[in-house]
Amino acid sequence: MSLNAERSYKMKLRDVENAFKYRRIPYPKRSVELIALLAISCTFFLFMHTNKLNSRLKEMEVKLQPSEFSALGLTGNHISGHDAGKHDDINTLHGTYQYLKSTGQLENLDPAHLNNTPKAERDFVFYNRLEKTGSQSMTRLIKQLGDRLGFDTYRNIVRPSRPITDDEENENDLVEQLFELGEHAVYVEHANWVNFTKHGSPSPIYINMIRHPIQKVISAYYYQRHPLIFAQTLMRNPNKPLKNKKFFDTKFNDCVRNRVRPYCVFDAHNPFNGDWRRFSLHLCGNSEICTHFNSETTTQIAKMNVEREYAVVGSWEDTNVTLAVLEAYIPRFFTGATEVYYNRTEQFTINTVSHDTHLDKDVEEYLKSSFSFEIELYLFIKQRLYKQYIAVHKNAFQSN
């Protein structure tokens, strides 16, 4: 088949800069009309099934809530409330430790219960990296670890633009291609969580990195307005509309205060994803429900995936904790990560654009409420990370 021939040719392409091997996602060759027709029938189908789906999801939410999906046995609402006031801030490593200790959970804390790596059915890491979380730095670190530990690293050719979700066919194609890559490998790409089992494929080791959702959006905002970055995306996609001076000059605070569409309106009805506001989308998956911004249901599904599927979701905000957890829970791929990282830290500080992170009070209030569920998910992930770390390093804490 010509598609296969083309595919294997593309697979051999190499990124000269860091020798990451490329993988190609084929574009569907269907005509636009067919896609439109499909979209219309899908909409109709979804419409017919929305009620059923809604009640199923409601059922699911009830089943899943609350303690099962809260890393510390708290509901999200309690997490940032003053329940934590008695202890140190619960959203810190030390606060999490104090909390686990005072509730008697510490004693029974066992890394084996927090370790999803043994559940993987193949020796393959699927890192569906989130944008603006320092994923290029992690990608580079993985490449160096691959050279040391003997595994291959793959990623895609940069696509000029892509839909926020992949359809069933593309998802299946991705799964099949990743299977062809074989064992002892890491695949890094912007993608949504994929259920490999659903496609009859052995499940991989899932990892990801996160960052505070508001900081992530500010970072994306200034990143896209950086002249060099803008020029780069223009080269990749010559059809991209040019922007006026105001686009580049407007400060984030002013953009949000004036609710400039689509960039600075963060409500559930704004489908814009160009600043990658949908943090939960990538951890939730490709189904329609996952595209809902700041939605309780999307958040619950994302939490479920993190808890049950992801081996590690870390953050550069907690570099040492993240590297230690990666080493402890996925040793095959991350042994020596801390050593390699700190040997030459500056090497891993890439693709960053320095920008103003200051938030005016009114803007901060608006963002905090617009991102409430995204923040809940973020805190959930941080607590899980701390918990994984504490489970391994309990004794070091006790001697302090």
Ligand X SMILES: *[C@@H]1O[C@H](CO)[C@@H](O)[C@H](O)[C@H]1NC(C)=O
Nearer to ligand X, 161 or 343 (CB): 343
Count of chain residues binding ligand X (CB under 6 A): 11
Nearer to ligand X, 30 or 58 (CB): 58
- 349 makes contact with ligand X (CB under 6 A): no
| Pairwise CA distance, residues 237 & 38, whole Å | 26
Please list the alpha-helical segments (H only) found in the chain. Answer: 2-11, 32-64, 76-79, 93-102, 135-149, 168-180, 213-225, 227-236, 245-249, 252-257, 279-284, 296-308, 319-329, 331-334, 337-343, 361-370, 372-398
- Please report where in the chains the tokens 């479920």 appear, as a residue: 304
- 77 makes contact with ligand X (CB under 6 A): no
Question: In the chain, how long is the greatest CA-to-CA distance?
Answer: 67
- 185 makes contact with ligand X (CB under 6 A): no
- 198 makes contact with ligand X (CB under 6 A): yes
User: Dihedral (C-alpha) 191, 278, 70, 166: value to the nearest 10 degrees?
Assistant: -30
Nearer to ligand X, 343 or 349 (CB): 343
Indicate which residue of 78, 94, 184, 190 is catalytic: 190
CB of 149 to ligand X, least distance (A): 12
* Segment contacting ligand X by CB under 6 A, of 92-100, 125-133, 190-198, 258-266: 190-198
- 121 makes contact with ligand X (CB under 6 A): no
- 342 makes contact with ligand X (CB under 6 A): yes
CB of 308 to ligand X, least distance (A): 6
339, 356, 362, 365: which one binds ligand X (CB under 6 A): 339
* Segment contacting ligand X by CB under 6 A, of 9-17, 231-239, 258-266, 340-348: 340-348
* Segment contacting ligand X by CB under 6 A, of 34-42, 110-118, 250-258, 332-340: 332-340
- 56 makes contact with ligand X (CB under 6 A): no
Contact 285, 193 (CB under 8 A): yes
184 given a catalytic annotation? no
Contact 348, 340 (CB under 8 A): no
CB of 169 to ligand X, least distance (A): 17
Contact 72, 96 (CB under 8 A): yes
- 197 makes contact with ligand X (CB under 6 A): yes
- 49 makes contact with ligand X (CB under 6 A): no
Contact 104, 93 (CB under 8 A): no
Contact 293, 372 (CB under 8 A): no
118, 344, 361, 395: which one binds ligand X (CB under 6 A): 344
Residue 75: CB atoms within 10 Å: 14
- DSSP 8-state symbol, 130: P
* Segment contacting ligand X by CB under 6 A, of 235-243, 259-267, 272-280, 338-346: 338-346
| Pairwise CA distance, residues 142 & 209, whole Å | 13
Report the candidate in 77, 60, 103, 132 with the shortest Cα–Cα distance to residue 284.
Answer: 60
Q: Is 153 helix (H, G, I), strand (E, B) or coil?
A: strand
- 320 makes contact with ligand X (CB under 6 A): yes
Element (H, E) at 313: strand 310-315
178, 340, 359, 391: which one binds ligand X (CB under 6 A): 340
CB of 321 to ligand X, least distance (A): 8
Report the candidate in 279, 318, 316 with the shortest Cα–Cα distance to residue 299.
Answer: 279
Binding-residue pattern over the window 281 to 310 for ligand X, x denoting contact by CB under 6 A: ----------------------------x-
Report the candidate in 52, 27, 26, 40 with the shortest Cα–Cα distance to residue 289.
Answer: 52
Nearer to ligand X, 270 or 338 (CB): 338
Binding-residue pattern over the window 370 to 399 for ligand X, x denoting contact by CB under 6 A: ------------------------------
Residues that bind ligand X in the complex, under the rule CB under 6 A: 195, 197-198, 309, 320, 338-340, 342-344
Tell me the catalytic residues. Answer: 190
